[in-house]
Structure 1
Amino acid sequence: MKTLILGVGNPILTDDAVGICVANEIKKLSLPNVEVIETSLAGISLLDYVVGYERLIIIDSIKTEKEAPGTLYKLKLEDIGNSATPSYSHGINIRTAIELGRKLGYKIPKIIEIYAIEIKDNTTFGEECSPAVKSKIPGIVDEITKIIKSDSPPS
């Protein structure tokens, strides 16, 4: 199954970079039929990346302050609100962008998984995640990699 892993975040805002960091570690594993892209883009800008894949895995940060930093949430596209900012056409989330892409006839992946990692700090400038989040990255990489391998058809 042709899979795209999209690591999303800002590489200079401490914990906000965790999606990119996890994606980078998965990229080092050179998994078959898996392409990894790290990006700071969001919303409709992601459509160009996702077209043509059968499966899309998005890895990003989330700040709920309900769980410990480094907690991994598995979400569905439906879990994300459907919104657009009327005064700014680019201000749409990934769910809205995917739905728009489908309506426009883009070949959007049928399988979309979202992994959100609880963070503590997304406002401090820095090129490394906080120690609390950084220490969880290897376990998150292992967990996501196992899911990818278990869901992949045998070669």
Structure 2
Amino acid sequence: MTIVVIGLGNDLRRDDGIGPTVARAVAPKVGPDVQTVASGGDPVALLELWAGADLTVIVDAVICDPPRPGVVHRLTPAELDAMRAGMFSTHGISLNDAVRLGAVLDRLPRRMVILAVEIADLDDGRGLSPAVGRAVDAVVSAVLSEIGAPSERVV
């Protein structure tokens, strides 16, 4: 089974770094059969990363109105499409648009799960806001649960 974990975001835009932060935290907890990647959201790179995978888990920051920083939404691509009116991507091309492009080009994984973390702070700079920072452990556990990995890897 091919599994890919993608943390979308930009570490230099505060809460937008939640995806890469989670990807880095997941990497040492999984075996070599799970690919973990921090990605800036380039659609071509995403298509290459997830094409043909059995399972892709994506962690991404979303802006909601009203914001509830740290709240995590578990979504399928269809649910992401349905929620787009209340959620806004932090990327030039939204994850939803990248998924649609992947569908048209037949470059999707067999199954995709999106863990969308609500954020509020997109200022320049490193470090997550306290509310989003408190969500990291829960999101890491959610990723490990989705891929069927134990929450703590015994070395």
Q: For 1:103 and 1:64, how far apart are their aligned partners in 2?
A: 28
Give the aligned partner of residue 60 of structure 1: 60
Larger radius of gyration: 1
Give the aligned partner of residue 97 of structure 1: 98
Q: For 1:96 and 1:65, how far apart are their aligned partners in 2?
A: 20
Unaligned 5+ runs, structure 1: 84-90, 151-155
Q: TM-score, normalised by structure 2?
A: 0.78
Give the aligned partner of residue 79 of structure 2: 79
Give the aligned partner of residue 147 of structure 2: 148
Q: For 2:20 and 2:66, how far apart are their aligned partners in 1?
A: 22
Identity of aligned residues (%): 27
Instruction: Give aligned pairs, total.
Output: 141
Q: TM-score, normalised by structure 1?
A: 0.78
Q: How well do the aligned residues superpose, as a CA RMSD in angstroms?
A: 2.4
Task: Return the offset for 1:65.
Answer: 4.1
Task: Return the offset for 1:20.
Answer: 0.8
Task: Return the offset for 1:23.
Answer: 1.1
Letter in 2 for 1:46: L
Give the aligned partner of residue 34 of structure 2: 34
Task: Return the offset for 1:92.
Answer: 4.5
Letter in 1 for 2:68: A
Show CA shifts across 1:51-107 (max 9, x none).
Answer: 231111111011114463211100111123399xxxxxxx6533443343344344x
Q: 1:79 to 1:63 in 2, by over 3 A?
A: same
Letter in 2 for 1:97: A
Deviates more, 1:74-83 or 1:23-32: 74-83
Q: 1:148 to 1:9 in 2, by over 3 A?
A: same
Q: For 2:120 and 2:67, how far apart are their aligned partners in 1?
A: 10
Q: For 1:54 and 1:139, how far apart are their aligned partners in 2?
A: 23
Task: Return the offset for 1:19.
Answer: 0.8
Q: For 2:50 and 2:10, how far apart are their aligned partners in 1?
A: 19
1:117 has 2:117 as partner: yes
Is this contact kept in 2: 1:64–1:118, CA < 8 A? Answer: yes
